[in-house]
């Protein structure tokens, strides 16, 4: 526990706003922070926690801002980092963006928030819905049309070695909700959860084994532990109800093979083959294959059957975009770059190929929402809407 | 969205006129409410950018009496910042505070009590007591939860006052509050107070009953409150395994919480209480299965949280390797991981390496060794060496991978490879020496001390097989003075080895190095070693050979494991700064009492009384097998063998001692060891030695004086056995007074003591009078009569 103080600094280390929670560390200690970070960066020894004398600085970076907390106790670091990230989220919800200007524009409100979210270094209420009750007046919520939107979003994390072996493949799913319900309704969500199906004798039906499920604060965890029921009173508006992870090996949805021919001092040629390995009836939208190229490459030339290619020198890469990529297809792209005759001094390592995509109406895991029961005293009719989408997560294919 | 219709606040920052303070003063005293509020905002804006506006103190305090909540908050904020610099004027605010604590609006009551606690001015503190007492019993939970924290604030300013006023009892009562937020803050305040003053334990000690209440509140409170509660539970010691299991059962659902802090604190409770359960039981197996997925999921969190998680996983993997043994792949490094995440993942990968997954690991490491980040590449190369030492079957592949890397000629890769190859030679002697020729090709490129020292060690060790070993070593000798100390030491030893192996034509070289070491050096270590070699060589070359070319113990598989007692302590601190630093809190927290946390001993319900923790005989069979850590020691013998290449090497000096109850004592008891005797024998007379060493060991000059005991063997080095002692003289007899403290996890027994022959002629007059078993955490004092031997 116990953050002694929280600061928000600009990129140069100047304090934009701060709050002293415990008064046990001189606030001017923050002047040491930026030089320490710079030293660490020079030494290639950056860590998000820096000890200086008996003070530990713990920090995160957001846009061009540093959010820093100090302590001289054996503080709980998970709390401190979760809290700092939560703080960013709160500011974003209040101000839509978080940058130097939005802090100056709202400093009174930020002071109020800082006073409410932490006391003596202990995080307090950080739920914006509740904060609004203290800090901006909330109205009694009543909707004319009672609706709930459920988005089931699955992200595929993939790591493929240079010789084409899948090193890691993982699905991280989440269910996001937008709730517009009057009053304080009680909700119950039914999924085709394998553990639940087996315990209720429906083992044969199609179900998914959720490896590690994480729930929003509002879900009754002990209830889930007991009988796998997901029951909760939702906060109003948008929030992430749950997330889960599956380690089941699936065929990579978009497979990319690359042949790279480097002719030192003159040119480099790429041949990229992209293959969609999902059912024909699904289609991946907005597919982007981001191919790294040397920083000193010049005169790009592309050839492709489908989609368009764009050289993005600021990212040292080529972006090959295919707006619509149906299942079971295979497309080719060729790229050609000139290289300077003098070799650059800095070696660049071997950045991987990244792929972005979205496949609507489809989940890799096969997870399904079976029902969403809404129980409210007045007994109004509410409409649940469900959408499914699969997209790329951290999707990397290493290159030769 | 909240500021859409409002003007932004940035305008308050823009006043830069000369008479600013004067102008603000006027505005603060304006009759118009709106103007006042604007003025206070300007004051706060100035404060925010670091201007000193303390001169306005009385004027701002005058604005305090208002029913406008926003204005009140700003004035309070101002007060918190400046009260300390204006303590006398701060008193002016007291009345309003006291009044606000009775306001009809709970938000104002809470605000007042919260702010008062933050004004760290002694004079105000006494006025705080009555309002605080009322607020602790307020009808509104928001006020009560704020008052709970205020008790901790007050305790921090004046602990005595809090105890005298009975606030501790009131705080304890809040643990039974109907509102879970109040319970959570009360728990947080209690933990804080207990940490600062252990004397509060009498009042605040948790019992099974309170723990039960906390577990109930756990289901209802905020995510942060859950962490406070879990952390408090982790400090509780259940009365038996049944209670430990039932707490675990109620805590495990928290592993499914979205907040990483909740998850890690739940992991802490489970890791700690699992110690008390039957290791082979189905329940423990199930618990361990449950721990893996949430730990893996933490690696999808923000990078800073990943970092904390990885540092903790590093501990968990050492404590219970089974939990994550099948999860190697999740630790594979991604291109865009921050460097601090990459390095931690790498470390865990090596810990999880086994024969089953070595091929994959090696392929990954080879990939990493071609990255751009120098630190990461170095660590990857080092990791390949560690794999070779850990998995014998893979050693050959590792060596060939290292050779490939040496061929890249990338300077730091080559140097790092040579350092680890030296370790591989030590682990598998006479197996891979064929590659020495390749290594020698790279002599010129080595510019880092550790790499140079390693190469020199290799040359010395295999001098008989390297035709031009003398030339190579001679080439290093040229710049002897400029070398780093570790290179100098290594060079000295290597040349002596060369001489002992190939005496012809190397005599000049050895004389050269001995004279450089003994006459031209300021480094006492180097000089001492030089002299030792010199005497050995001149008095008894055969003995020299036996010492210098003695067969070396093999190095152990596991390097840089955390010493078990420390590891146990760190497990109790999972998620905290200590767990990230891998250091006990006392190492970086100022003024912390010497209170150390330790894992609870395993116990069974029914057959347990308070005084007699039952631990299986010898502790070994039922304990979960734990890797042995060999105590590091700057042993003289090690030096003579020239094996002091680095901290990891020193740890590997001794072969792992068999887990028998007696050995820890004996192996480290060489307090007045033979080494000293042989050394001092020829040069000084016995009497001198007695005088000199007597001082070192605190031998008394006068009869009555009994010196305080000094630590002779730290728990870290003695596998949990700490020995403090002192020499004293009583009734004309010499006594050695020793206190044995068991700081390990298990009972110790079978103590024996042996006095090596020593130059003082001291012998043991009575056997060691010590009870059979030394239980965990207990101490025993022994007095050993020592007599001078008769000759």
Q: What is the pLDDT of residues B699-748, one digit of tens each?
A: 333 334 556 677 777 777 776 777 777 776 666 666 677 777 777 666 67
- What confidence score (pLDDT) does residue B168 get? 95
Nearest to B3 among A51, A95, A398 (CB): A95
Distance, in Å, from the CA atom of B519 to the CA atom of B527, rounded to the nearest integer, reads 8
With CA atoms as reference, the chain A residue closest to B147 would be A119
Q: Which of residues 182-221 of A touch B (CB under 8 A)?
A: 211-217, 220-221
Alpha-carbon dihedral B356, B360, B366, B367, rounded to 10 degrees: -160
Residue numbers in A near B80 (CB within 8 A): 20
Instruction: Give the CA count within 13 Å in the CB-facing half-sphere of A214.
Output: 25
Nearest residue of B to residue A222, measured between CA atoms: B253
| Pair A392, A357: CB distance under 8 Å | yes
Q: Do B224 and A56 touch (CB under 8 A)?
A: no
CB nearest to B252's CB, from A104, A225, A351: A225
Per residue in A74-83, pLDDT (tens digit) is 999 999 999 9
Instruction: Give the span between the Cα atoms of B751 and A247, in whole angstroms.
Output: 52
If one counts every other C-beta atom within 10 angstroms of the C-beta of residue A387, the result is 13
> Which residue of A lies nearest to B120 if distances are taken between CA atoms?
A23
Q: How many CB pairs under 8 A join A and B?
A: 244
Q: Which of A84-98, B42-56, B510-524, B734-748 has the lowest mean pLDDT?
A: B734-748
- Residue B782: its pLDDT value, please? 60
Could you tell me which of B18, B295, B385, B420 has the C-alpha nearest to residue A245? B295
pLDDT for res B500: 92
Please state the length of chain A: 400
Dihedrals φ, ψ of B443, to 5°? -50, -45
State pLDDT tens for residues B197-248: 878 888 888 899 999 999 999 988 899 999 999 999 999 999 999 999 999 9
Contact list in A for residue B364 (CB cut-off 8 A) is: 167
**Residues B365, B363: Cα–Cα separation, whole Å:** 6
Cα gap B209→A89, rounded to integer Å: 38
Say whether pLDDT at B664 is over 90.
no
Question: How confident is the model over A35-47, as pLDDT tens digits?
Answer: 999 999 988 889 9
Does the CB of B153 have a partner CB in chain A at under 8 Å? yes
B61 to chain A nearest CA, in Å? Answer: 18
> Residues B391, B402: contact at Cβ < 8 Å?
no
The CA angle B167-B173-B178, to the nearest 5 degrees, is 135
CA atoms within 13 A on the CB side of B655: 6
Predicted confidence (pLDDT) at residue B595 exceeds the cutoff of 90: no
The average pLDDT across B419-430 equals 89
Q: How far is A94 from chain B (nearest CA, A)?
A: 6
pLDDT-derived band of residue B617, with 50, 70 and 90 as boundaries?
very low
Mutate to test the interface with B, among A77, A89, A105, A216 (most CBs of B within 10 A): A77
The CA distance from A295 to A344, in Å, is 9
Q: Residue A73: its chain B contacts at CB < 8 A?
A: 195, 577, 589
* DSSP string across A218-277: TB-HHHHHHH--EEE-PPSEEEEEEEEEE------SEEEEEEEEEETTTEEEEEEEEEE-
By the CB < 8 Å criterion, does B541 face chain A? Answer: no
Is there a contact between A310 and A244 (Cβ–Cβ < 8 Å)?
no
The model's confidence at residue B408, banded by pLDDT at 50, 70 and 90, is confident
Is B81 part of the contact surface with chain A (CB cutoff 8 Å)?
yes
B50, B334, B339: residue with CB nearest A159: B334
Beta-carbon separation of B577 and A126 below 8 A: no
| Cα distance between residue B227 and residue B241, in whole Å | 23
pLDDT above 50 for B687? no
β-bridge partners, A159? A168, A396
Q: Indicate whether B5 pLDDT > 60.
A: no
**Does B573 touch chain A if contact means CB atoms closer than 8 Å?**
yes
- Whether B81 sits inside 8 A of A101 (CB atoms) is no
Rounded-to-integer distance, Cα B26 and Cα B331, Å: 64
User: Is A47 an 8 Å CB contact of chain B?
Assistant: yes
Mean pLDDT of all residues belonging to chain B: 81
Using an 8 Å CB-CB cutoff, list chain A residues near B107.
134
Q: What's the residue count for chain B?
A: 791
Alpha carbon of A242: minimum distance to chain B alpha carbons (Å): 8
pLDDT at B762 over 90: no
State the average pLDDT over residues B61-88. 87
Region label for A74, one of left (φ > 0), alpha (ψ between -120 and 50) or beta (otherwise): beta
Hey, are the CB atoms on A20 and B80 less than 8 Å from each other?
Answer: yes
B588 contacts B226 by C-beta, under 8 angstroms: no
Residue of A nearest to B361 (CA): A167
A315–chain B Cβ distance below 8 A for any pair: no
Please tell me which residue, B572 or B617, carries the higher pLDDT value. Answer: B572
Closest A-chain CA to B340: A47
- pLDDT above 90: percentage of residues in chain B: 48
Strand order in the sheet with A230-232: A230-232, A186-191, A369-375
8 Å CB contact between B750 and B662: yes
Question: A194-208, B45-59, B436-450: lowest mean pLDDT where?
Answer: A194-208
Judged against a pLDDT cut of 90, whether residue B504 lies above it is answered with: no
| Per-residue pLDDT at B611 exceeds 50 | no
Handedness of CA B580, B584, B588, B591 (dihedral sign): positive
The candidate with the shortest Cα–Cα distance to B261, out of B293, B215, B217, B308, is B308
pLDDT at residue B752 greater than cutoff 50: yes
- B19 pLDDT tier (thresholds 50, 70, 90): low
CA B773, B775, B776, B779: dihedral to nearest 10 degrees? Answer: -100
Shortest Cα distance, chain B CAs vs residue A281, angstroms: 31
Q: In a 3-state reduction of DSSP, which class is residue B437? A: helix
Q: Does B50 contact A at CB distance below 8 Å? A: yes
What one-character DSSP code corresponds to residue B671?
Answer: T
**B 722-761: CB under 8 A from A:** none
Q: Which residues in chain B are contacts of A316 at CB distance < 8 A?
A: none
Q: What is the pLDDT of residues B257-291, one digit of tens each?
A: 999 999 999 999 999 999 999 999 999 999 999 99
Residue A37, pLDDT score: 95
**pLDDT for res B4:** 41
Give the model's confidence band at B122: pLDDT under 50 very low, under 70 low, under 90 confident, else very high.
confident
Q: Rounded to whole angstroms, how far apart are CA atoms B336 and B329?
A: 16
CA distance A155 to B441: 50
What 8-state DSSP symbol labels residue B717? T
Q: Are strands A147-160 and A383-397 parallel, antiparallel or unpaired?
A: parallel
Of the two residues A353 and B747, the one the predictor is more confident about is A353
| Residue among B80, B577, B590 whose CB faces A75 most closely | B577
In this predicted structure, what is the pLDDT of residue B54? Answer: 87
- Contacts of B659 by beta carbon, 8 Å cutoff, 6+ apart: B618, B620, B628
Q: Is B516 on the interface with A (CB under 8 A)?
A: no
Q: Please state, rounded to an integer, the average pLDDT across all residues of chain A.
A: 90
Q: Write the ipTM.
A: 0.82
In sequence order, the 6+-apart residues with CB closer than 8 A to the CB of B361 are B328, B349, B350, B353, B387
Confidence category of residue B467, pLDDT binned at 50, 70, 90: confident
B570 shares contact with chain A (CB less than 8 Å) = no
User: Which tokens belong to B544?
Assistant: 């020299």
What's the pLDDT at B682? 39
Q: Tell me how far apart the alpha carbons of residues B258 and A118 are, in angstroms, rounded to a whole number.
A: 20
Cβ–Cβ gap A22/B339 under 8 Å = no
351-370 in A: which are within 8 Å (CB) of B?
351-352
In angstroms, rounded to a whole number, what is the distance separating the alpha carbons of residues B2 and A96?
A: 9
CB B512 within 8 A of CB B475: no
Question: What does the pLDDT read at residue B721?
Answer: 76
Using CB atoms, pick whichever of A72, A77, A95 lies closest to residue B589: A72
């Amino acid at each position: 526990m116990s953050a002694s103080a929280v600061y928000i600094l600009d990129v140069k280390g100047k304090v934009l706003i701060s709050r002293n929670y415990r008064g046990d560390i001189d606030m001017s200690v923050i002047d040491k922070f930026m030089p320490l970070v710079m030293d660490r960066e020079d030494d290639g020894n950056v860590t998000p926690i820096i000890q200086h004398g008996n003070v530990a600085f713990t920090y995160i970076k957001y846009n061009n801002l540093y959010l820093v907390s100090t302590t001289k106790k054996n503080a709980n670091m998970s709390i401190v980092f979760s809290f700092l990230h939560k703080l960013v989220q709160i500011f974003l919800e209040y101000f839509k963006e978080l940058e130097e200007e939005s802090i100056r524009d709202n400093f009174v409100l930020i002071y109020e928030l800082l006073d409410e979210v932490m006391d003596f270094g202990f995080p307090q209420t950080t739920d914006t819905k509740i904060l609004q009750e203290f800090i901006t007046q909330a109205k009694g919520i009543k909707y004319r049309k009672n609706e709930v939107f459920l988005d089931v979003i699955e992200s595929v994390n993939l790591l493929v070695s240079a010789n084409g072996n899948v090193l890691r493949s993982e699905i991280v799913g989440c269910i996001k909700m937008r709730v517009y319900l009057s009053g304080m309704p009680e909700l119950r969500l039914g999924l085709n959860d394998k553990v639940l199906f087996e315990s209720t004798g429906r083992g044969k039906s199609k179900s998914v084994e959720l490896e590690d499920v994480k729930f929003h604060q509002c879900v009754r965890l002990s209830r889930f532990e007991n009988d796998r029921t997901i029951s909760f009173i939702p906060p109003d508006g948008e929030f992430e109800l749950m997330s889960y992870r599956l380690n089941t090996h699936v065929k990579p949805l978009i497979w990319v093979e690359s042949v790279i021919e480097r002719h030192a001092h003159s040119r480099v040629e790429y041949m990229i083959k992209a293959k969609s390995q999902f059912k024909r009836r699904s289609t991946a939208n907005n597919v982007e294959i981001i191919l790294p190229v040397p920083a000193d490459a010049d005169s790009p030339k592309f050839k492709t059957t489908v989609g368009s290619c764009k050289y993005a020198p600021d990212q040292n890469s080529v972006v090959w975009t295919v707006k619509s990529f149906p299942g079971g297809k295979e497309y080719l792209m060729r790229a050609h770059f000139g290289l300077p005759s003098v070799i650059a001094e800095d070696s660049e390592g071997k950045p991987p190929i990244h792929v972005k995509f979205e496949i609507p109406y489809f989940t890799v895991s096969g997870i399904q929402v079976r029902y969403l029961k809404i129980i409210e005293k007045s007994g109004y009719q509410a409409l649940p809407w469900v959408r499914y989408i699969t997209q790329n997560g951290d999707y990397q294919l290493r290159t030769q | 969205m909240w500021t859409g219709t409002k003007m932004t606040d940035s305008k308050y920052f823009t006043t830069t006129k000369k008479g600013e303070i004067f102008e603000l003063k006027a505005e603060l005293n304006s009759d118009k409410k709106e103007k006042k509020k604007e003025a206070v905002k300007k004051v706060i804006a100035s404060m925010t950018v670091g201007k000193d506006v303390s001169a306005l103190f009385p004027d701002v305090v005058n604005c305090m009496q208002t029913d406008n909540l926003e204005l009140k908050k700003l004035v309070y904020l101002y007060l918190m910042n400046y009260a300390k610099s204006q303590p006398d004027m701060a008193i002016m605010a007291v009345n309003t505070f006291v009044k606000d604590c009775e306001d009809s609006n709970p938000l104002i009551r809470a605000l007042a009590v919260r702010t008062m606690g933050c004004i760290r001015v002694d004079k105000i503190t006494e006025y705080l007591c009555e309002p605080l007492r009322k607020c602790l019993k307020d009808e509104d939970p928001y006020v009560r939860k704020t008052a709970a924290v205020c008790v901790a604030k007050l305790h921090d300013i004046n602990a005595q006052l809090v105890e005298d006023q009975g606030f501790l009892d009131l705080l304890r009562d809040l643990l039974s509050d109907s509102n879970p937020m109040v319970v959570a803050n009360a728990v947080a305040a209690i933990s804080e107070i207990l940490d600062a003053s252990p004397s509060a334990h009498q009042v605040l000690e948790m019992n099974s009953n309170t723990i039960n209440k906390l577990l109930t509140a756990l289901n209802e409170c905020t995510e942060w409150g859950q962490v406070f509660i879990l952390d408090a539970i982790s400090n509780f010691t259940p009365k038996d395994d049944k209670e430990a299991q039932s707490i675990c059962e109620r805590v495990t659902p928290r592993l499914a919480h979205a907040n990483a802090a909740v998850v890690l604190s739940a992991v802490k409770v489970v890791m700690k209480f699992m110690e008390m359960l039957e290791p082979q039981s189905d329940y423990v197996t199930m618990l361990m299965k449950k721990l893996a997925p949430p730990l893996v999921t933490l690696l999808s969190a923000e990078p800073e949280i990943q970092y904390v998680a990885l540092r903790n996983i590093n501990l968990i993997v050492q404590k219970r390797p089974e939990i994550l043994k099948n999860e190697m792949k999740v630790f594979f490094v991604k291109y865009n991981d921050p460097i601090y995440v990459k390095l931690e993942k790498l470390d865990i990968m090596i810990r999880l390496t086994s024969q089953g997954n070595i091929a994959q690991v090696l392929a990954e490491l080879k990939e990493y060794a071609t990255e751009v980040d120098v630190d990461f590449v170095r660590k990857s190369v080092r990791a390949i060496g560690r794999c070779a030492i850990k998995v014998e079957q893979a050693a050959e592949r590792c060596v060939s991978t290292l050779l490939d890397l040496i061929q890249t000629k990338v300077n730091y890769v080559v140097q790092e490879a040579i350092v680890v190859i030296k370790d591989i030679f030590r682990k598998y002697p006479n197996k891979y020496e064929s590659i020495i020729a390749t290594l020698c090709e790279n002599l010129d490129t080595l510019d880092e001390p550790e790499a140079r020292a390693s190469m020199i060690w290799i040359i010395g060790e295999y001098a008989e097989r390297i035709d031009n070993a003398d030339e190579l070593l001679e080439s290093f000798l040229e710049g002897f003075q400029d070398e780093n100390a570790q290179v100098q030491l290594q060079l000295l030893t290597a040349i002596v080895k060369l001489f002992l192996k190939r005496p012809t034509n190397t005599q000049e070289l050895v004389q050269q190095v001995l004279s450089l070491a003994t006459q031209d050096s300021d480094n006492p270590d180097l000089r001492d070693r030089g002299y030792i070699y010199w005497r050995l060589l001149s008095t008894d070359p055969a003995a020299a050979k036996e010492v210098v070319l003695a067969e070396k113990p093999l190095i152990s598989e596991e390097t840089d494991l955390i010493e078990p007692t420390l590891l146990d302590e760190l497990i109790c601190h999972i998620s905290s700064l200590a767990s990230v630093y891998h250091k006990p809190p006392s190492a970086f927290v100022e003024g912390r009492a010497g209170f150390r946390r330790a894992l609870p001993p395993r116990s069974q319900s029914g057959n347990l009384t308070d005084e007699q923790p039952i631990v299986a005989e010898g502790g070994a069979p039922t304990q979960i097998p734990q890797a042995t850590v060999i105590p590091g020691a700057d042993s003289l013998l090690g030096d003579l063998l020239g094996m002091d290449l680095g901290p990891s090497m020193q740890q590997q000096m001794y072969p792992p001692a068999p887990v028998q109850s007696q050995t820890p004592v004996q192996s480290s008891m060489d307090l007045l060891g033979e080494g000293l005797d042989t050394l001092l024998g020829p040069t000084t007379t016995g009497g001198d030695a007695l005088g000199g060493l007597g001082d070192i060991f605190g031998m008394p000059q006068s009869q009555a004086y009994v010196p305080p005991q000094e630590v002779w063997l730290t728990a870290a080095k003695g596998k949990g056995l700490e020995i403090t002692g002192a020499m004293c003289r009583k009734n004309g007899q010499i006594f050695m007074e020793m206190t044995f403290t068991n700081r390990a996890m298990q009972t110790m027994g079978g103590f024996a003591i042996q006095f090596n022959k020593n130059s003082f002629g001291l012998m043991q007059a009575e056997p060691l009078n010590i009870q059979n078993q030394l239980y965990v955490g207990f101490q025993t004092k022994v007095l050993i009569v020592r007599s001078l031997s008769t000759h």
